[in-house]
Amino acid sequence: MKRILSGIQPTNRLHLGNYLGAMRNWVKLQNEPGAECLYMIADLHAITVPQDPESLTRSTRETAAAYIAAGIDPSRSIIFVQSAVPAHSQLMWLLATMAQLGKLERMTQFKDKAGKNAERAGLGLFAYPVLMAADILVYQATHVPVGEDQKQHLELAREIAATFNTRYKTDFLIQPEPVITGPAPRVMSLRDGTQKMSKSAESDMTRINLTDDADAIAQKIRKAKTDAEPLPESEKGLENRPEAKNLVTIYAALADISRQDVLNDFAGKQFSEFKPALSDLAVSQIAPIAARMQELMTDVSEIDALLANANDRANNYAIPVLSEVERIMGIWK
Ligand code: AQP
């Protein structure tokens, strides 16, 4: 029996990177026999950088719609909002007493997000990995699908669970394992192949949103940065060509084939020929998600009802775990 926990921050519209790097694998996991999946909308993580309140609420609903439109079935998986389960924040405080500053200081995502101004970064951004540990441990999750950039945080969650268990002579907290679901591609910006495709990048032309219609997708791919060379015969020929590599990676991920298979079909071809093929493929997979999202967003009461029900189910898992941690620690309640 696997219990799986993962989530995305509702920081803006979800994009192709979130879909190919995370959500598509979540659907596969949901369909595995014996797997119980909890997919969170991580609004408490989103506010570790300033968010406009109205946009945050809108993005929270839209993220729920995106999960469903991408194939996560709310009757099989629990799609819930992190802040609606107070046990996450409560457990975070208890775990914070066991998280070492030195380890938090080594987290590369904090360094990346805080940039040169680390002294001015908020405590929430610094403590983000402790909240992530609470997110996982409060469900006694056994498996967590993580991208490359989250591996360090998962390791910290394992260490915090081990510290708790050693300190209180128990085996109550489960050390979660990373899930390997096959290749989860890292999708890069359409305008700079060295930067990750990101919700918070300023220019909308850098990403394909899951809400983009066929015309928008085609336009973004047409305008995507490339170089003047034709496509190479082998993957080695993509080295030092980040934009070309990115478009080939996206094609391979959408078609569920290897990069080499893509090159076998397109070697020697110019981008003027490759881009329309990529565009057709992207439209065939993303436009139906966008259409379903639009449908769901026309009646938000249905989404709100689904979330209310799932939030209750998530609370039913989390509250007893928090209570047991408190009991073990001797917390007065
Ligand atoms: N470009 C990407 N390629 C592949 N996977 C990606 N993910 C995000 N971007 C890419 C995966 O999506 C999941 C959730 O991400 P998140 O919202 O929690 O935070 P993030 O990784 O910081 O995503 P963004 O889009 O870049 O958001 P902002 O701009 O708000 O920071 C993770 O599994 C991640 O690997």
Q: How confident is the model at residue 333 (pLDDT cuts 50, 70, 90)?
A: confident
Mean pLDDT, the chain, whole residue set:
95
The ligand 1 atom nearest the CA atom of 150:
35
CB 210 within 8 A of CB 66: yes
Catalytic residue among 199, 220, 245, 275: 199
> What SS3 state is found at 41?
strand
User: What one-character DSSP code corresponds to residue 221?
Assistant: H
3-state DSSP assignment of residue 39: strand
Cα angle 126, 131, 132; round to 5: 105
| Mean pLDDT confidence for 26-41 | 95
Q: Does ligand 1 lie within 6 Å of residue 11's CB atom?
A: yes
- Cβ–ligand 1 distance for 113 under 6 Å, the answer no
List pLDDT tens digits, range 247-269.
999 999 999 999 999 999 999 99
The per-residue pLDDT for range 49-101, each reduced to its tens digit, is 999 999 999 999 999 999 999 999 999 999 999 999 999 999 999 999 999 99
Q: Which whole number is the average pLDDT over 153-163?
A: 96
Cα 203 from Cα 199, distance rounded (Å): 10
Question: Does ligand 1 lie within 6 Å of residue 191's CB atom?
Answer: no
- Please determine, for residue 193, whether its predicted confidence score (pLDDT) is greater than 90: yes
Q: By the 8 A CB rule, do 10 and 56 touch?
A: yes
What is the structure's pLDDT at 307? 98
Burial (CB < 10 A; 0-12, 13-18, 19+), residue 317, is: buried
In angstroms and rounded to an integer, the radius of gyration of the C-alpha atoms of the chain is 21
Decide if pLDDT at 182 tops 70: no
199 is catalytic: yes
pLDDT given for residue 214 in this prediction: 94
The answer, yes or no, to whether any atom of ligand 1 lies below 6 A from the CB of 176, is: no
Work out the angle at residue 113's Cα, subtended by the Cα atoms of residues 148 and 254, and round it to the nearest 5 degrees. 40
| Alpha-carbon separation of residue 318 from 136, 143, 302 (angstroms) | 10, 16, 24
Q: Is the CB of 21 under 6 A from ligand 1?
A: yes
Per-residue pLDDT, 181 = 64
Single pTM value for the model: 0.94
Interval 3-27: pLDDT, tens = 999 999 999 999 999 999 999 999 9
In this prediction, residue 183 carries a pLDDT of 65
pLDDT at residue number 220? 97
Largest Cα–Cα separation, the chain: 70
Q: Which atom of ligand 1 is nearest to the CA of 12?
A: 30
User: Are the CB atoms for 35 and 73 separated by under 8 Å?
Assistant: no
Kindly state the average pLDDT of the residues 309-326: 98
Q: Active site includes 223?
A: no
Determine which of 138-142, 151-155, 218-222 has the lowest per-residue pLDDT on average.
151-155
Angle (nearest 5°) at CA 16 between 121 and 129: 30
Tell me the pLDDT band of 115, cut-offs 50, 70 and 90: confident
What's the CA gap between 1 and 7, in Å, rounded? Answer: 20
> Which of these is catalytic: 28, 103, 196, 225?
196
Cα distance between residue 202 and residue 162, in whole Å: 40
Q: In whole angstroms, what is the distance from residue 155 CA to residue 95 CA? A: 14
Residues contacting residue 298 through CB under 8 Å, at least 6 positions apart: none
Q: Which atom of ligand 1 is nearest to the CA of 146?
A: 33
Q: Is the pLDDT of residue 169 over 70?
A: yes
Is residue 196 flagged as an active site residue? Answer: yes
* Cα-to-centroid distance, 170 and ligand 1 (Å): 35
What residue ranges in 74-172 does DSSP mark as E strands? Answer: 78-81, 143-145
Hey, which of 4, 5, 8 would you mutate to test ligand 1's pocket, going by the most ligand atoms within 8 Å of its Cβ? 8
Domains of the chain by range and CATH?
A: 2-185+300-329 (3.40.50.620), 204-296 (1.10.240.10)
